[in-house]
Structure 1
Amino acid sequence: MVTPANEPLRPKGRRRGTDPARTDPPAASTDNATELARDLEARHPGWVILWRHWARRYWAFPTWNTNTPEPIEARNVQDLLTQINDVELQHPPPGTNG
């Protein structure tokens, strides 16, 4: 019987049940993702958009009162834009006819 105390050591960086032959698609470079976040922020007034390098996710904060204080978060731009549109439909920014 193998217990945690006498379990054989595994190479670092591998988890139990992972396929060592599997490769994930390359992530966007940090500089490119940061530039993309700046571009999105310029195209969507009323939002502060950040690329969180350590989490590899985008964060977006509306700058008006939406009654939802938490930021929205997404792994890719399309998901972020979908969430931005959802927030704007539910809580229209000031000065819009929504």
Structure 2
Amino acid sequence: MGGRGNTQPVVPRSIRQPAGVSEHLPDDRGRIVTVPPTSRHEGLSDGRLLYRPEDAATILSVTRTRVYDLIRSGQLPSVKLGRSRRIPGAALHDFVDSLTAEGAK
């Protein structure tokens, strides 16, 4: 196997593989191990606590106008920071969960 200077750069999990998919990665000794999927919402969150409406629209695959409609209707909670509107990451998770629950009925 290669020497110690032959390491690969660490790529964030959300870029390497979609959420919910097992990965095969080298461990500290170079052996390939299977890493189980983590949170099913991992693809939605990049670690930020708050998202701009434009970012939330991209994550939800809807228009910015639709995000503002969801905020106005109370379906998507948001917070106001000065003159800016932000959507908590947890609110995005909860919104997707509510859609999934509605679809299961």
Which band: TM-score by shorter chain?
under 0.3
Quick check: which one's helix share is greater? Answer: 2
Q: Which has the higher contact order (CA 8 A, sep 6+)?
A: 2
TM-score relative to the length of structure 1 = 0.28
TM-score relative to the length of structure 2 = 0.27
